[in-house]
Amino acid sequence: MHNVEPVTHSSLLIDNIGELVTNDASHDGSPLGLRLNAAVLVVDGVVAWVGDAGTAPAADGLERVDAAGRAVLPGFVDSHGHLVFAGDRAHEFAARMAGESYTAGGIASTVSATRAASDDDLERNVIRLVAESHASGTTTVECKGGYGLSVADEQRALRIASRHADETTYLGAHVIPAEFKSHPDEYVALVVGEMLDACAPHATWIDVFCDRGAFDGDQAREILRAGMAAGLKPRIHANQLQPGPGVQIAVEVGAASADHVTHVTDDDIAALASSTTVATLLPGAEFSTRATYPDARRLLDAGVTVALAADCNPGSSYTTNMPFCIAVAVRDMHMTPSQAVWSATAGGAAALRREDIGVLSPGRRGDLVMLDAPTHIHLAYRPGVPLVSGVWRAGVRLR
């Protein structure tokens, strides 16, 4: 005889959901896979069952939540953030609102502040921003380095990021730091050499800011290829400030995502549409730099997979709030509320090549957001109102 430990399960049932966004197109053929009067059961962190209200199967250790007709959707997947930094650039923002234009040059001031900060200060900032994300319904966070721009500072950024973010991205190629301005080739050599070796163990992804004032197409290609050779997966900041080769490079290297995608040609759109590269739009950046928004309709009509992300950073988009991004995407980028919600959940998952999140169907992670509203449409219809009233990550309540 040997003792068998009793198996204890934790389960969460959310019942009486007025409108459930599943993103499971197999349900009704529509991208959001909407179910009315629904319920979801999560067992040990994973969705075990989705069905009609009041008909859930029995489960051990059950915690029952009555949604009382509210809407529930998958947790937001924020696939683009720069959370490891010190200081802020409020005055730069104010100057922009008074008429100055945004340039990549402002990044240098955050680099100085970040290099001067202690590990603890940087970590506290990441913890604060991840908590802020969770509070507004984000259940998956991607975090880049990019404000260290030295071997030691990029490595510590990723060490800190990997303790709190779900996905980490090496962005040694954010801009050329001041001390390399007269010999940029040496900086690129560092990014693909010693810095990559130091950072690759702490990251899944490699990213390059390919734009005016940052890296050109040849540099971006070289850096992404070097990262891929070191086992990292590519993504890219492309075509934010002006037209350029970034989107084409994304498709050429098989990047999971091209991010920003603001200034694009018909050829860029055709290349995206015939690829597996997601276009991740970052409406907070155009909002906060008072720039022209990307043409989301043009991308969607061409069949491009579109994600929405917050791009939280102290320069161009100091927000973690995905409901805000959804509202702006609907109002100013002409996405429908359904498209914006899909892009902020399933789209973000696609941009991170994650199969386990972004969809509520059996086997997926139990990441859920409950709104104090009857339908997902309210995320855009009631801009700025804190509608997120419940957040669960792998079945565990975050708020």
CA pair distance 20, 375, nearest whole angstrom:
8
**CB-wise, 123 or 259, nearer to Fe ion?**
259
Phi, psi of 290 (to 5 degrees): 50, 55
Interhelix angle 151-164/107-116, nearest 10 degrees? 80
Cα dist from 321 to 119, 133, 137, 146, 242, whole Å: 25, 6, 8, 21, 26
**Positive/negative CA dihedral, 320, 167, 221, 307:** negative
**CB-wise, 314 or 366, nearer to ligand NIG?**
314
**CB-wise, 215 or 392, nearer to ligand NIG?**
215
- State the residues that interact with ligand NIG by CB under 6 A: 82, 106-107, 110, 209, 237, 240, 285, 311, 313-317
CA pair distance 353, 341, nearest whole angstrom:
18
CA pair distance 209, 206, nearest whole angstrom:
11
Q: Point out which span in 23-31, 38-46, 270-278, 310-318 binds Fe ion (CB under 5 A).
A: 310-318
Candidates 46, 3, 13, 44; CA nearest to 359 is 46
Q: Which one of Fe ion, ligand NIG, none interacts with residue 275, CB within 5 to 8 A by kind? A: none
**CB-wise, 20 or 256, nearer to ligand NIG?**
256
Q: From the CB of 377, what's the least distance to ligand NIG, in Å?
A: 28
Q: From the CB of 181, what's the least distance to ligand NIG, in Å?
A: 17
Q: Which one of ligand NIG, Fe ion, none interacts with residue 23, CB within 5 to 8 A by kind? A: none
Q: From the CB of 87, what's the least distance to Fe ion, in Å?
A: 17
Structure tokens at 298: 């043009």
Q: Which one of Fe ion, ligand NIG, none interacts with residue 315, CB within 5 to 8 A by kind? A: ligand NIG
CA pair distance 343, 258, nearest whole angstrom:
14
Q: Which one of ligand NIG, Fe ion, none interacts with residue 268, CB within 5 to 8 A by kind? A: none
**CB-wise, 166 or 311, nearer to Fe ion?**
311
Q: From the CB of 288, what's the least distance to Fe ion, in Å?
A: 12
Those residues with Cβ within 8 angstroms of residue 1's Cβ, 6 or more apart along the chain or in another chain:
none
Q: From the CB of 85, what's the least distance to ligand NIG, in Å?
A: 8
What are the residues binding Fe ion (CB under 5 A)?
Answer: 311
